[in-house]
Amino acid sequence: QKEVEQDPGPLSVPEGAIVSLNCTYSNSAFQYFMWYRQYSRKGPELLMYTYSSGNKEDGRFTAQVDKSSKYISLFIRDSQPSDSATYLCAIQLDQGAQKLVFGQGTRLTINP
């Protein structure tokens, strides 16, 4: 079983739609949860970061963590063509650990 599972998509939605991206993980010891956005032929960039169960909002983006189900989500409201990218979830064991475990990434296209 992979440590982090993410539906690779691709996912294509019309502009303005609400997008839901999801990951599941197997190790309940994981404590830190991140979402990266990666544009084509670019390096990943950190989008959001949380370490507790519940929701965290940043503008049109909401990160949700459910530790009891080992499930994390990223919601994008009022999606824009500029949101078209690959979204990677990443999970870390604890603050001192150097190992970041990435999901496979979901390729998202927002159609104007």
Partner 1 sequence: NAGVTQTPKFRILKIGQSMTLQCAQDMNHNYMYWYRQDPGMGLKLIYYSVGAGITDKGEVPNGYNVSRSTTEDFPLRLELAAPSQTSVYFCASSYKPDSTEAFFGQGTRLTVV
Binding residues (CB under 8 A) for partner 1: these are 4, 6, 8, 32, 34, 41-46, 49, 88, 90, 92, 95-100, 102-105
Question: At closest approach, how far in Å is the CB of 22 from partner 1?
Answer: 15
- How far, rounded to the nearest angstrom, does the alpha carbon of residue 15 sit from its chain's CA centroid? 19
Residues with Cβ < 8 Å from 98, sequence gap 6 or more? none
Strand partners of residue 11: 108
Q: How far is the CB of 57 from partner 1 (least distance, A)?
A: 17
Considering beta carbons, is residue 1 or 41 the nearer one to partner 1?
41
Task: Please identify, using beta-carbon distances, which residue of 75 and 102 lies nearer to partner 1.
Answer: 102
Pick the closer one to partner 1 by CB: 32 or 75: 32
Least Cβ distance, residue 78 to partner 1 (angstroms)? 26
CB of 112 to partner 1, least distance (A): 27
Please give the Cα distance from 42 to 16 (Å, whole number): 25
Nearer CB in complex with partner 1: 17/50? 50
Q: Which helix (H) or strand (E) holds 92?
A: strand 85-92
The single residue listed with the structure tokens 């539906």 is 7
Strand partners, 65: 54, 72
